[in-house]
Amino acid sequence: LSWHNVSVWVKKKNVEKSTWFRQHHQDVRIINKVSGLAEPGSLVAIMGPSGAGKTTLLATISQRLQGDVYGQILINGNPITKQLMTRISGFVPQQDLTLKSLTVLEHMQLMARLKMDRRLRSSHRNRQVITLINELGLVKCSNTRLSSLSGGETKKVSLAVQMLTDPALLFCDEPTTGLDSYSAGAVVERLRSLAVRGKTVICSIHQPTSGIFDLFHSVILLAPGGELAYQGDPQHALAHFNSLNIVCPTSYNLAEFLVSQLNVTDQPESQTKIQRICSKYSESEVGKEHDRKLDKLKQRKKQNNILEMSNGIPHYGELEDEFQKYINIQSPRWFTQLYWLVWRSFVEIFRNPQEQILRLAFYMFIALLISTPYIGMSVDQAGIQNMQGCLYLVVVETIFTFTYSVFHTFPSEIPVLLREIGNGLYSPGPYYISKMIVLLPRALLEPIIYSAMVFWIAGLFGGVMGFLQFCIPVIACAITATAWGCLISAMFESVATGSLISVPIEQICLMFCGIYLSLSDAPIHLVWIKYVSMFYYGLEAVSILQWSEIDAIPCSDNKNVPCISSGSGVLENYGYNASNFNMDLLGLGMLYCFAHLIGFVAFQKRSKKQAAY
């Protein structure tokens, strides 16, 4: 693997020029014309001070960075596409994002189903999983949940997942971060053993101990600004810096010393010193030898062997035989991806019963609060307001409860999913459909319990059959609310931003539900809003069920009080139509489909922008 004159630019907000109505951005260079080489059988360390661009360089050469990248990345002298790089390499992130309720064995088996060739037998996949668990010393914790693992065990699991397909290249971002010296050494020794077996292993690492530093075959030093300060044998680095009159004290950790020399301080000569180190490296014999190797590789480039992907079908030309096994890997089918994603989500739910019980208990408590003030409602003029108030609270609380329960849980899962999608584990479609499926049971069961409490405690009309009918629009409101929650979660990266947008929209829709505004007198240019309001459809549907069978309502003895003498009159007073029940359910169904359609498009758009590291 080689990279030539690689530069990376990102857009950052210019706070001084930005205003509340217009954002100004400026291009900032993170990596500056860096060239490098990683040969098979070598363990390469990318080192440098904080902010030097270690992770950015690692993500760039592994083709997992979404941004403005310039330069060439070659395999055996040939350009490589992002699709092929994903197939032939593994990437172990600094922070392993995954759902934590699975055990190590279950997680490995799931990843094997999603990463390995679908034509392989289950016995072959299971054998590969067991082999990796044994090799990485994970036998004792194989039945332990991921949430209960130590830092070192978590790193090993991440490494094992990437090794399922036996990749030719392995990229590790800060594999020793958060580990004690023993665990860090064990992880790096494992990486070195993989390199010795012919793999190319590249790590970004901050300040390794001297023992860990000696395990690397090659080291790349990055200076602030993403400039190359050194690449070569770690032991030769000492001689190179000595030639620059930068001498490491005898008892000092060499790795820590090298990084410290590249730190920018408040002293004006600090930047000059770093620029001198970078320029002297390119002029040194080590730097010139490094350039000769890179030039030799570029000369091997075959113009007819450009790797490309057309309509999902790879065309690689005369590619080396060692990559054929990666090229021929067939991903799991769409329904296989859907099945395993649904399975994982349900396991996550069933293994966290406390969360489900607390949510249901809170929902039942709300039902009790809503229904208690309406006990003993009568069918009279005062009862009309009481009934509509009760129905309004039922619909509104259902919609808000299910919208925000999704809205506050879905965003925490999205970083995991976007990373997995970026790494080619599955496509956005199966995941989004799996989310829709997993949300349905709760949206079906909890509203029945909620409706039962309100219906019987408040004494709503209709008996058993009326209760069963009453559940239908309440369930429809809950299901539609989950779709709205998914839409907001998919469109906005933070809960705060999503709330800022969703709350005003919900308030406008709430205004046109028939309680706050007489729909028959609403301005003609605004009356259309009720047709995009879940609150309107839900409240009209439950109102129809309660009032359509009421033929007579006694009037007040006070003749100055307006009298509504029938249930149909109540519906007309609120701007509802007794024949609209089925249309209301259809309206909720259309809003459900529309919200999920827009939510899926937004989620898919985010997945294309998200860096896969």
**Among 290, 183, 288, CA closest to 232:** 290
Which of 14-23, 383-392, 542-551 is least confident?
14-23
Pair 514, 540: CB distance under 8 Å: yes
Q: In the predicted model, what is the mean pLDDT of the chain?
A: 85
Q: What pLDDT sits at residue 22? A: 61
pTM: 0.84
Half-sphere exposure of 349 (CA within 13 A, CB side): 17
Pair 477, 513: CB distance under 8 Å: no
Dist. CA 217–CA 39, nearest whole Å: 10
Pair 572, 550: CB distance under 8 Å: no
Is it the case that residue 312 has pLDDT exceeding 50?
Answer: no
Model confidence at 131, pLDDT cuts 50, 70, 90, reads: very high
Pair 70, 226: CB distance under 8 Å: no
Sheet holding 25-37, edge to edge: 25-37, 2-13, 68-75, 78-79
Q: What share of the chain is helix, strand, coil (3-state, %, to 5)?
A: 55, 10, 30
The whole-number average pLDDT for the span 332-338 is 93
Q: What domains lie within the chain, and their CATH numbers? A: 2-15+25-327 (3.40.50.300), 334-609 (no CATH)
Continuous segment of H or E residues that includes residue 13:
strand 2-13
Q: What pLDDT sits at residue 99? A: 77
The whole-number average pLDDT for the span 142-151 is 88
Dist. CA 602–CA 40, nearest whole Å: 40
What would the pLDDT profile of 574-608 be if each residue is shown by its tens digit? 889 999 999 999 999 999 999 999 999 998 888 87
Range list of H helices, 300-427: 324-327, 334-350, 353-371, 381-407, 410-422
The whole-number average pLDDT for the span 138-150 is 90
Dist. CA 69–CA 434, nearest whole Å: 34
Number of neighbours of residue 410 by Cβ within 10 angstroms: 22
Pair 74, 2: CB distance under 8 Å: yes
Backbone angles phi, psi at 381, to 5 degrees: -65, -40
Pair 201, 170: CB distance under 8 Å: yes
The whole-number average pLDDT for the span 26-55 is 88
What would the pLDDT profile of 400-413 be if each residue is shown by its tens digit? 999 988 887 777 77
What would the pLDDT profile of 242-294 be if each residue is shown by its tens digit? 888 888 887 788 888 888 888 877 667 777 888 888 888 888 888 888 888 88
Number of H helices, E strands in the chain: 22, 12
Is it the case that residue 613 has pLDDT exceeding 70?
Answer: no
Model confidence at 515, pLDDT cuts 50, 70, 90, reads: confident
What 8-state DSSP symbol labels residue 22?
A: -
Is it the case that residue 417 has pLDDT exceeding 50?
Answer: yes
What would the pLDDT profile of 195-243 be if each residue is shown by its tens digit? 998 899 999 988 888 888 889 999 999 988 888 989 988 888 888 888 8
Model confidence at 44, pLDDT cuts 50, 70, 90, reads: very high
Q: What pLDDT sits at residue 540? A: 94
